[in-house]
Structure 1
Amino acid sequence: MADHSHDCFYVTRPEMFYPFVFTDIMGLQKNTEGGAGVGDIKLAMKGHVKDGYKFRGECPLSEDDRDYNEGPTLNDKVHVLVCVICASTVNILSDEIIRKMRDVRLAASDMGIPQMAILTHIDEACPEVKADIRNVYKSSYLKEQMEKVTVSLGIPLYCIFPVKNYHSEIHIDDNIDTLILSALKQMIYFGEDFVNNLKTC
């Protein structure tokens, strides 16, 4: 997506409710004319980017822009940074893309924002997993891709979550959902820790 948009979801457990929002932005690209700019992503993490802002890599947001939020609240700020990477493209990520992703991740670290990665389309990347999604943690190929993400971006293995995308299925699959919900649960835990740490400072 090319804009800064929100999708709201509610996760519940007995006597506890977790409202959370996905802020989806367009991905990083090699050139400056396409994709989201690193500077704009940093501003978004700080809460300075309003909903609906159209990311323009060649024309970053300025303080004079009507989409610039001068007084961000805690709700405007990013609580968890999630890098979404296709499992079949890990090997072909350019040095420029990796540099940009590391730049964003290091900025998040300076802000105290926890980070995680989601490895998508794992069934398309690994025939063993395509045959049976339950082989996800037995696949040496996927383990190798996750290790490459760790080395390239500095995200620990325990913060990288492989998931299978729904695309041709017509029924809900518990095995697919288990992987997705595992990633969502960790997002909630990381976000809760971030907010609690800010409140105690």
Structure 2
Amino acid sequence: MGKLWTKLTGGGEESKPAPAPPSPPNPYLCQPWRNVTENYQKNLGFVKSYQPRNKDVKHLRILLYGPVGSGKSSFFNSVDTVLKGRVSGRAATDAISGSSHTKKYTAYKIRKDRGSFYSVIFNDIMGFEENTKTEVDVEDVKLAMRGHMPNGYKFNPVAHLQDTDKDYISCPTLKDRVHVLVCVIPTDSVSLISEEVVKKLREVRLAATELGIPQLAILTKVDKACPQAKENIKETYRIKYLEEQVDRFSLLLGIPPNCIFLVKNYSSEIETNDDINALILSALKQMITFGEDFLDDL
């Protein structure tokens, strides 16, 4: 009876341990798919010494466009920070309004120590959103690319710039035109962009293609989109999730992955950081290179 009871109850045998839970997948690639840290100083020197070879222009004009809250103004502030070596906030930003904080077409130059300017101009423009009464008109972006829009033009969401407006640039020169178009998107919003906004982004992109303007994109806020990037921004180009977001955005808008860059804008920092700078400079160098090729072709 005792043996039978032991057999029925399992007594006398060691209980098997529960199987260990599966290990979480490794979020990192074996090697970074883009090396930006190694080229940090080289890229910084390139940007600081850049001068357009085309004598008809003194500054390469880069137009930033994208949805509301994507970080366009913050990206310019971040470039300004990198080149000045101190945190800058010249372009006003607003993290809570939910609508575009940029109301005017604004051209930003970056001053060097000796009073001259770097050979790059950033133009900031009102953002896209689903509410057509509070967003930039697609036609205004097209006019800006062609050089018809004056600096300081105040956007009117219900009516785009007209050739009868007193400040309309009727005969734009090469220096008035946009030489590089850059789409700015938050990394954590790539899969959340509405069809309506995607349609507007693609319409701008197709217009730029007709004009021969080179196009790139930057995915901002990588630290908010990914805990690994927040923990160590230096590992940005080793993180699988971020590579997947680049591929996803490439399919969404048609921009090749090698023209899409991951960045973290300066936001809460009060001191500069070489790893943040490296990401920004990698994108900026490619913008300048593409823009220089555009000017060469002209």
SS at match of 2:247: helix
| Whole-angstrom CA distance in 2 between matches of 1:190 and 1:9 | 20
- In structure 2, give the amino acid aligned to 1:6: A
Q: Give the deviation of 1:18 after TM superposition.
A: 5.7
Asked if structure 2 preserves the Cα contact closer than 8 Å seen for 1:84 and 1:118, the reply is: yes
Tell me which of 28, 35, 48 is aligned to 2:128.
28
- Per-residue CA deviations over 1:76-116 (Å, capped at 9, x if unaligned) read 00000001111111111000000000000011001000000
Q: Paired residue for 1:14?
A: none
Structure 2: 5+ residue runs without aligned partners? 1-101
> Using the alignment, how far apart are the partners of 2:179 and 2:110 within structure 1?
15
For 1:20 and 1:163, the matched residues in 2 are separated by: 19
1:24-60 Cα offsets, whole Å, 9 max, x none, are 0011111321211111100100000001111222111
SS across alignment from 1:6? strand
Q: Does 1:167 align with 2:288?
A: no
Q: Which has the higher strand share?
A: 1
Partner of 1:121: 221
The 1-side partners of 2:191 and 2:236 are apart by: 18
**What secondary structure is seen at the aligned counterpart in 2 of 1:75?**
coil
Q: Distance in 2 between matches of 1:157 and 1:68?
A: 36
2:251 is equivalent to residue 151 of structure 1: yes
How far has the Cα of 1:10 moved from its partner? 6.4
> Could you tell me whether the CA contact under 8 Å between 1:7 and 1:22 is conserved in 2?
yes
Aligned equivalent of 1:7, options 108, 116, 120: 108
- The count of corresponding residues between Structure 1 and Structure 2 is 193
Q: Which has the higher contact order (CA 8 A, sep 6+)?
A: 2
* Contact 2:109 2:118 survives alignment (8 Å): no
Task: List gaps (5 residues or longer) in structure 1.
Answer: 12-16
How far off is 1:195 after superposition?
0.8
Q: Which residue of 2 aligns with 1:99?
A: 199
TM normalised by structure 2 equals 0.63
Q: Compute the RMSD of aligned alpha carbons.
A: 1.4
- Greater C-alpha radius of gyration: 2
For 1:9 and 1:193, how far apart are their aligned partners in 2? 22
Contact 1:29 1:35 in 2 (8 A): yes
**Which one is further off, 62-71 or 38-47?**
62-71
Q: Which residue number corresponds to residue 234 of structure 2?
A: 134
**Displacement after TM superposition at 1:67 (Å):** 2.9
1:78 to 178, 182, 196: 178
Task: Tell me if structure 1 keeps the 8 A contact 2:185–2:218.
Answer: yes
